Structure 1
Amino acid sequence: MCDFLGAAKMIRGVPKEISDMKEELESIENFINNADRIADAEDDNASEGIKARIKQLIEASFGIQDVIDEYMICQEQPSGFANFVKTIILRRQIAYKIQKIKSQISEMNDTSGKEHSLHIQSSLEQGSSSTATNFNMENLRKAQFCIDEDDVVGFEVPRDILIDWLIEEREVHTIVTIVGKGGQGKTTLAKKVFDDNKIVKHFDCHVWIRVSQSYNIEGLLRDMLHKFYEQQGANLPQSIHQMNRESLVDEVRNYLQEKRYVIVFDDVWSLHFWDDIKFAMIDNKKGCKILITTRNMDVANACKKSSFVEVYEMKGLAEQQSLELFNKKTFHDLNGRCPENLIDISFKIVEKCNGLPLAIVLIGGILSCKDRNTSEWYKFSENLNIELKEDLKIKKIVGLGYHDLSYNLKSCLLYFGLYPEGCIVPTNILIRQWMAEGFVKDDMVKTLEDVADGYLTDLISRGLVQVVSISIDGRAKSCCVHDLVHALILEKCEELSFCKNISEDDQSSLSGMVRRLSIAIRFDNLMENIENSQVRSLLVKTLNESLARRIPTKYRRLNVLDLEHVGLLDVPKDFGSLTHLKYFRFRENFRGDRCVLPKAIGMLKNLETLDLTRTSFQAMPKEICKLRKLRHFLGYNMSLIQLKDGIGGMTSLQTLRDVYLDGGENEVVKLIQELGKLKHLRELVLIGVRSGYMSAISSSINEMQKVEKLQIRANGYDTVIDMHLNSPPPMLRHLTLDGKLEMLPLWIPKLQNLVKLKLKYSQLTDDKMKLLKSMPNLLTLSLSNNAYEAERLHFQDGWFENLKQLYLEDLENLNYIIIDEGALRSLKKLSLTFLRHLKTLPTGIQHLKKLGVLSIKQMSHLFSQAFFFDEGKVHWSFKHVPVVEIIHHPIN
């Protein structure tokens, strides 16, 4: 009887215990954060003791996270007697687990050494709220971090030397190598050379390949082929994924056979690299070049055995150049001007960086987030002395940047450890994974997505994360980390049991705690070794079907599941057992068949992201409507007609794309009306739109006041898009309309926040274009596939004053483009593609003083003759443009 009463008391006390455990978890995370920093600063003996303690606490924190998650799932059980009994049993199990964790923490505190006074004052021991210092998130910088140009200096002379070597007329192909220490800016220099207009014009084919330490030849060859096809605007054939090395080499050689090419192999480590890749680099006697960046002079020497090699050895930045780079990074908000009170100390700090760009950027990133207090900066400089002693060590500086982060930001940075070295990660994928992991803390004002975007902005501003591509309005689209930062991340991931990354050359031991796992190889025995571990995140590439089907039964605690290139025909039917799952990405199924999503998808009540892009599915099951926490639903021509009676209840949705409107008109209209209930939607893509749907679409979009991106694609180019928006979304930033516009909607010019407008098949005339001329924030305008039907396009003085990018493609009737002085005064990129009747370059192109890129693709023979051969009349008008891209496949 006493045992029963005791158990009942334990069960009743579970909610209070869970609340205490959440505070305890916060205390432990705060402790781990501080102890990790102390461990790195101590000598080896003391450090090992602290790290052992950290390992214990990490294991305890994992146990707490599991118990909290189990409790939350338990609370979400539906009502009913059977579920009531089940809930009681689960609560009892949770209560016993709580008691076990209490005992573990108490034992750790009793047995731990006192030499560093590292002791957690447990809220569980006290039975009350934690007395440990509360975790305070650093104030994130409010300003949007915008990159208009590379913050690099001192590369003008080496850039010109390398360009001369690459365009030098030499019949046989030549290898140019850039050799330098880590952090000296080899990749940055190579990129400036690669993007230079002289290089772009000189070569027919330009490809950039990241190699790194753990390269795989087959992977590099597929990457090259992918970029070849991408340059042609074509999709990579699925057969490429099944090809062996010999077939891939043949494919590459065939493509390069008639081309003068330049290929960059960035970050080469292996002395055998050139021997591995040279068979694909056909010497066609056209003066082709290969550019290699490496830290090892022996790599350059190894290439000399079979090719002519030029070697450029990097030097450190000069004193003035170092100071200029430091000021750009540290005082970005002051346009790189150092305040007078910090001039002397800034000079002292920069001196200690020995001219290494990465060291300067990282230290500048740390100081950019600190108060501009002279005494604090002097203290930082003194600590920098202690850290670096006599010789500068980049690892120490990277460590300084890492330890200056809050616990949550550290976790966000460490997440790059799940991706291979040099991997470019789309930011929207990264942010959604951070959210699923619980790294992103709730904010009473901002959405989780906006908070996560602030985290990324902070990591970028500190120099720990690098932006690879940005949108026209300055937002990061993709990012990566420097290889030296990645090395520290992997080291910390091992020390903190954060994740394991299994690549081709690193089938490392999976003993101990495996919390997050990334697998980039096909290794049948691997899954058996980890099936009993508490894996919470699983990122898999090239896993065979039989092993992939075991995931739902062997990894029930998954929060994140990312399957790419796995070749599954269907999603496993028992997928619904993954009740903890918050993020599911199933992309690029190369089987070629339409996949099936099981009804069990409706059991994933915690799912926040369902990413099914690049894979064709049959009609989505109506059970998806049960996913009331789903925020991002992405697919490829998805048929959602089965959801017509319930999708309006999915009120957490922020992203919904690409929805194909198939079925009977009444059913489709019902579906569209339901979409109008999604008040928090930020992005919507509708495909296969018919004229009969326009009234329903207009009504629904009038209700979507938070939409920022909208695409409407008609089912045929003669279908009229006639949307009447009485209350268009005020925050709309990106708008794409594919279909005929009998008149330009009057609500479009009223969109004050619109930055990107893409029109296709619109059949606009000159008088309708005038309505767009004065939109204040429009930065990108794209007109394609007869979006504009007149013979002449005239940009008059004052038109499109803020426009930065203009894309004109496949406008069949266009004969002349005229640009008056004072028009398009902010334009940075002009792209002309497949304009078959355009006779010459735009008249007045010389007025575009800020034009940085002129892209010309697949123009008529008449246009090509004037452009290429009449330099006396045409060339002068665009010689001020730094980069001119020419893809010359003449059309008739």
Structure 2
Amino acid sequence: MADIIVDIFMKNLIKLLGHEANLLLKVKGQVCLLQDDLGIMNAFLKDSGGKRNEHHLVREIINQIRDVVLEVEDVIDIYMVKVIKQRRRTLLGRAFHSIGHANLLHDVSNQTTSIKNKIRNIYDNKATFGIGEVESNANEEAEQSLQRRRRNVEEEDVVGFVNDTATLVKKLVEGTLKRQVVSIIGMGGLGKTTLAKKIYNNSRVKNHFDCRAWVNGSQECKSKELLLGISRCVEMEKSDELHKMSEEELRIALNKHLKGKRYLIVLDDIWKVEIWDEVGAAFPEDLNGSRILITSRIKEVATHASSTPPHLLPFLDKNESWELFRKKVFRGENCPSNLETLGIQLAESCKGLPLSIVVLGGLLAKQEKSPRIWEKMIGKVNSYLTDNRTKCLDILALSYNHLPGYLKSCFLYFGMFPEGHKINARELMKLWMAEGFIQPIGNREVDDIAEDYLEELIDRSLIQVASKRSDGGVKSCCIHDLLRDLCIKESVKEKFFEIHSDADPSESSMIKARRLSIQGNTCNYFLSRTCDPKACARSLFLFSEQNNFDSNHWRWIYKGFKFIRVSYLWNVNLHSFPSQIRNLIYLKYLRINSEMNFIPASICKLQFLEVFDLRSSSSESILLPKGIWMMNQLRHLKVSRSLQLPDPAERITGTNPLRNLQVISALSINQKTTLLIRKSLFPNLRKLHLLHKHNGIRNWTGQEVLELLTSLEDSLPSLRVLKTESLWKFSLNRFDMYPESLTKITNISSIMVPEHFRILGKLPNLRILKLKDVTLNGSGTQRGLIRFVAGEFPKLEVIKMISVEIVTWEMERDAMPSLQHLVINFCYPLRNLPNELCRLTHLRLIEVSNISKELWNMLKDLNMNNGCKLIMD
């Protein structure tokens, strides 16, 4: 992990030298020398990375490198803060405050040189001390021991998997005669090996295949070892001579031996796509129904080997968890009635992970089986499971150790959120960006790179999807409790973050933790501790229970955490916004809750701020200070209530001051809004939420709405997502009222007429349309009518209608040819769906709920084609 810390810091340092060179002008030469020293350190760390049991000399030098890098970061931050504060002063103030801190950088440069010499000594003496050999042998023995432990735990008890077994057995013995690869994927400890073994020993499977082979993989397994293992299982002749063959000769010999036979090969626990590339050629592709079964924690392995979708193994449900727990603790005997309620609680606390249940059951099987003992464990199960003696975390850590460097910090970040917390995916990705985890790659958007990282963690079975967005992306995600404990354990060791909570209070000084997460009663936490001016946290997370936040708490932050980049105040009610916030110079991400109706001008002094996220339950409009136009690093301006932009100063107009702004949420519309948009003051905006708050102000006319919408085309060329709320009237004399660039439109609380859908249907790139609380006006039979015409909505993939007063839905053939997902909720007047829907070849999912009895009866008898799934709630 130390190499990740150094790597992130170096990339941020390079970015700093490029974007903020004027702040480092006087010491740029020294900073560049530091960069060179860190480059040498980073090379050593990458060369030493990935080893589980480093020699103690190597471990020590890695710890020293990490600590020096953190110290270098502190010194540069201190220097830059002084430069920025100096520039804020008046000319008279500057005369009394001179900057003389370049020597600090010189001191740290000397320290890095000293560490560099130690690195050279390690290299020179590596052969003398036998560091490489010691590491290699220790790692190999530990790997083999852990793999044996993993297989013993996974295969010991079989519970559940009834449907999974039936599905997979059918795939193996039925279907196409072509050779097929079937895969089982899922989180470590979920029972993939157990399920595969159950299938492998199934009588129907045994009788179906001429020969079978089972080989165990690992993170470091070699393809030749797998080929030798398969050869022994299928009883190749002259097996004693196989070891003498080259890998290519072995592949050819095995292929020849299997030719004409209907075979089943199980490759258990495969970690790399290269393994399949190297062993796959050994399996002949005869048309006789041969199969290969792969188990892996990594989705990419499965999809690389076959186009057949992998079987994702689910967690155990409550009944299955209790059955496995009882089976492990009582070994076939009945559970005493006085322990059953406690036992069910303990089993459920494992969150459906068989590994946790088996390990916990093994611990309890060795102890006195009494309510007194079991009651002690309620609420503390994870503490027992993460004990080093269980090796439970070590088994799960295999997935973490296999992560590429750029994903390790992203994964550990999940540990900062409370247990069971559903994490908003877009929020998480913005946090990663603020931390510097996401670096540009070519001309790709950093948002897209961050989304790829999250998807990769999901595909590696480390993160679970909690909910999805309309476009299929991840809306929210979560992490299993044991994996969260793994994040915490690794982070404490590497000084990545610390957690302080009511449940697990810590007396740590918080001086060295780079990130701090405070969970529970944060107010009591603040009041019980004094500010520590030496605290070096760069991120501060507060997860409160409706606690108020006053000036004392702010003082604790801006005195004790001067260099924070991230301030994430979740569910903390803010009553004041002190001018001293300007002292948090490095702040990039600020999320707060507040009922205030104004934002102080001091926030505009935060020149690095990228994300400003203000949550509020108030309906009042909030006015931003004029200084907002000077915040040229701002990327996301998100407010949960109506937001008003101030008039820009004359010198600002036409200079694109908010050129990096990509998201504005809940922007209050009025004549000023239209003028500001027309001036192209935020030309790179990608998402815009327009909100009309009446508040006694006159309603907008249809012509005014039209002027606003038509101004978006030329002024916001990058706009992709538009959300409009409470725009009650539309003027319908122009078909170009929406920008053609839009891919998603959400319309909330408005009145629409049939002509609106003709206008929307002309948009060439529209993929998602969401309507909520919409009244459909029209005269006579046109009232409550939605009509889709042939050739319109060419790329539309998703329609969501929630509380739409739709009575009649008409649809011509060849309308919406790309539609994949339809959602209808609380649309009670609707009585039927158009027949043309059933003919759409791309439609895969229809979700309906809270509908009329007539529509319900019509849908339950509906025969869907093309594999479309109908979900009725």
How far does residue 416 in structure 1 lie from its aligned partner after superposition? 1.7
CA–CA distance in structure 2, aligned partners of residues 11 and 739 of structure 1: 53
8 Å contact kept, 1:820–1:847 = no
Q: Which of the numbers 657, 669, 672 marks the counterpart of 1:667?
A: 672
8 Å contact kept, 2:471–2:798 = no
Could you say if the C-alpha distance between residues 418 and 322 of structure 1 is closer, same or farther in structure 2, counting changes exceeding 3 Å?
A: farther
CA–CA distance in structure 1, aligned partners of residues 266 and 95 of structure 2: 63
Write out aligned runs for 1:764-779 (5 A).
765=782, 769-771=787-789, 774-779=792-797
The answer for the alignment partner of 2:256 in structure 1 is: none
Structure 2 unaligned blocks of 5 or more: 1-22, 127-157, 167-185, 196-262, 285-292, 306-388, 694-699
Check if 1:783 corresponds to 2:795. no
Deviations along 1:558-605, whole A, 9 cap, x unmatched?
100001122222333321111110000013x5xxx4454222111111
Write out aligned runs for 1:371-410 (5 A).
395-396=393-394, 398-410=396-408
The answer for the alignment partner of 1:748 in structure 2 is: 760
8 Å contact kept, 2:37–2:112 = no
The answer for the alignment partner of 1:736 in structure 2 is: 747
Write out aligned runs for 1:115-514 (5 A).
156-157=161-162, 183-184=189-190, 323=267, 341-342=279-280, 360-362=296-298, 395-396=393-394, 398-511=396-509, 513-514=512-513
- Amino acid corresponding to residue 845 of structure 1 in structure 2: L
How far does residue 57 in structure 1 lie from its aligned partner after superposition? 1.7
**Local SS of the residue matching 1:567:** strand
Deviations along 1:714-737, whole A, 9 cap, x unmatched?
344x56577753782425234436
Could you say if the C-alpha distance between residues 85 and 449 of structure 1 is closer, same or farther in structure 2, counting changes exceeding 3 Å?
A: farther
Check if 1:706 corresponds to 2:724. no
The answer for the alignment partner of 2:203 in structure 1 is: none
CA–CA distance in structure 1, aligned partners of residues 529 and 283 of structure 2: 54
The answer for the alignment partner of 2:366 in structure 1 is: none
Q: Which of the numbers 102, 110, 124 marks the counterpart of 2:109?
A: 102
How far does residue 13 in structure 1 lie from its aligned partner after superposition? 5.5
More deviation, 595-604/558-567? 595-604
The answer for the alignment partner of 2:627 in structure 1 is: 623
Could you say if the C-alpha distance between residues 740 and 356 of structure 1 is closer, same or farther in structure 2, counting changes exceeding 3 Å?
A: same
**Local SS of the residue matching 1:846:** coil
Aligned alpha-carbon RMSD (Å): 4.4
The answer for the alignment partner of 2:574 in structure 1 is: 568
Q: Which of the numbers 811, 818, 821 marks the counterpart of 1:805?
A: 821
Deviations along 1:206-257, whole A, 9 cap, x unmatched?
xxxxxxxxxxxxxxxxxxxxxxxxxxxxxxxxxxxxxxxxxxxxxxxxxxxx
CA–CA distance in structure 1, aligned partners of residues 105 and 684 of structure 2: 38
CA–CA distance in structure 2, aligned partners of residues 693 and 802 of structure 1: 30
Structure 1 unaligned blocks of 5 or more: 1-9, 120-152, 162-179, 190-318, 347-354, 371-390, 856-884, 886-892
CA–CA distance in structure 2, aligned partners of residues 712 and 571 of structure 1: 30
Check if 1:831 corresponds to 2:848. yes
Check if 1:609 corresponds to 2:615. no
How far does residue 836 in structure 1 lie from its aligned partner after superposition? 8.2
CA–CA distance in structure 2, aligned partners of residues 623 and 11 of structure 1: 25
How far does residue 809 in structure 1 lie from its aligned partner after superposition? 4.3
CA–CA distance in structure 1, aligned partners of residues 587 and 734 of structure 2: 38
Q: Which of the numbers 8, 23, 32 marks the counterpart of 1:19?
A: 32
The answer for the alignment partner of 1:539 in structure 2 is: 541
- Count of paired positions: 612
- Amino acid corresponding to residue 758 of structure 1 in structure 2: K
Could you say if the C-alpha distance between residues 28 and 496 of structure 1 is closer, same or farther in structure 2, counting changes exceeding 3 Å?
A: farther
CA–CA distance in structure 1, aligned partners of residues 34 and 96 of structure 2: 20
- Amino acid corresponding to residue 436 of structure 2 in structure 1: G
**Local SS of the residue matching 2:100:** helix
CA–CA distance in structure 1, aligned partners of residues 24 and 673 of structure 2: 49
8 Å contact kept, 1:503–1:520 = yes
Could you say if the C-alpha distance between residues 68 and 724 of structure 1 is closer, same or farther in structure 2, counting changes exceeding 3 Å?
A: farther
How far does residue 651 in structure 1 lie from its aligned partner after superposition? 1.4
Deviations along 1:654-687, whole A, 9 cap, x unmatched?
01001122xxx5434334434x432211110001
The answer for the alignment partner of 1:632 in structure 2 is: 636
The answer for the alignment partner of 2:862 in structure 1 is: 845
CA–CA distance in structure 2, aligned partners of residues 821 and 369 of structure 1: 34
**Local SS of the residue matching 1:541:** strand
- Ranked by relative contact order (alpha carbons within 8 Å, sequence separation 6 or more), the top structure is 1
CA–CA distance in structure 1, aligned partners of residues 493 and 660 of structure 2: 37
How far does residue 101 in structure 1 lie from its aligned partner after superposition? 0.7
CA–CA distance in structure 1, aligned partners of residues 577 and 61 of structure 2: 41
The answer for the alignment partner of 2:288 in structure 1 is: none
CA–CA distance in structure 2, aligned partners of residues 621 and 776 of structure 1: 43
Amino-acid identity (%): 22
More deviation, 817-826/509-518? 817-826
Check if 1:654 corresponds to 2:662. yes
Which has the greater radius of gyration?
Answer: 2
CA–CA distance in structure 2, aligned partners of residues 552 and 651 of structure 1: 29
How far does residue 540 in structure 1 lie from its aligned partner after superposition? 0.5
Deviations along 1:373-392, whole A, 9 cap, x unmatched?
xxxxxxxxxxxxxxxxxx99
CA–CA distance in structure 2, aligned partners of residues 438 and 626 of structure 1: 23
TM-score by length of 1: 0.60
The answer for the alignment partner of 1:515 in structure 2 is: 514
8 Å contact kept, 1:796–1:822 = no
**Local SS of the residue matching 2:641:** strand
More deviation, 108-117/459-468? 108-117
Deviations along 1:418-454, whole A, 9 cap, x unmatched?
1234433212111111111112223341222222223
**Local SS of the residue matching 1:92:** coil
Could you say if the C-alpha distance between residues 615 and 839 of structure 1 is closer, same or farther in structure 2, counting changes exceeding 3 Å?
A: closer
Could you say if the C-alpha distance between residues 525 and 80 of structure 1 is closer, same or farther in structure 2, counting changes exceeding 3 Å?
A: closer
8 Å contact kept, 1:817–1:843 = no
The answer for the alignment partner of 2:871 in structure 1 is: 854
Could you say if the C-alpha distance between residues 573 and 81 of structure 1 is closer, same or farther in structure 2, counting changes exceeding 3 Å?
A: closer
The answer for the alignment partner of 2:369 in structure 1 is: none
The answer for the alignment partner of 1:600 in structure 2 is: 602
8 Å contact kept, 2:532–2:560 = no
**Local SS of the residue matching 1:612:** strand
TM-score by length of 2: 0.61
Q: Which of the numbers 590, 598, 601 marks the counterpart of 1:584?
A: 590
CA–CA distance in structure 2, aligned partners of residues 420 and 369 of structure 1: 35
**Local SS of the residue matching 1:761:** strand
**Local SS of the residue matching 2:719:** coil
Q: Which of the numbers 34, 38, 62 marks the counterpart of 2:70?
A: 62
8 Å contact kept, 2:531–2:560 = no
CA–CA distance in structure 2, aligned partners of residues 562 and 796 of structure 1: 50
